[in-house]
Amino acid sequence: MNRFGKTVRILGLDPGLRHTGWGLIQVCGHHLTPVAQGTIHTDSKLSLAERLNTLYQGLSEVIQTHHPDEAVVEETFVNANPASALKLGMARGVVLLAPASYTIPVFEYSANKIKKSVVGVGHADKTQVLIMVQRLLPTLQTELKTDAADALAAAICHAHHRTLTEFTHLKVS
């Protein structure tokens, strides 16, 4: 239990049509513990609808297995290729929908804010994010891939910002 009343499980999500990373952390006060992480892969030979369904089903399984209290999704940047941007937007919609369909509050942060929260630099590359996530969560039990590292980084970012939000809303009697 943390000083605000409970331990919180935060599911970080890094949307992508080919690879959607996910990472779950448990927050107790200022202590972060990794719970699970992985990547949902879709088959590029399937139709767009089938790939989106694969994402939804995979995320539903993660949610039903791990019971997160909150979810956080990385906002996407604008892509120069309109077709790619549209497909990524559809995948992102599914990633936002999955936790919301289980009445889990969903928060969003820009990629720069997530990177700055974890690495200290808003334009860090994927390798830097992965290394810092491993340092911030030294008890990770499995090999960390970049998509899952990005998702865990989003969860860590939210853990830092939600603590500040809780503290500023704490009422003194």
From 50, 61, 69, 147, the catalytic residue: 147
In angstroms, the CA 72 to CA 153 distance is 10
From 74, 108, 125, 143, the catalytic residue: 74
Question: Can 14 be counted among the known catalytic residues?
Answer: yes
C-beta of residue 72 within 8 angstroms of C-beta of residue 106? yes
Residue 169, phi-psi category: left (phi > 0), alpha (psi -120 to 50), beta (remainder): alpha
Question: Can 147 be counted among the known catalytic residues?
Answer: yes
Question: Can 125 be counted among the known catalytic residues?
Answer: no
Q: Catalytic site residues?
A: 14, 74, 147
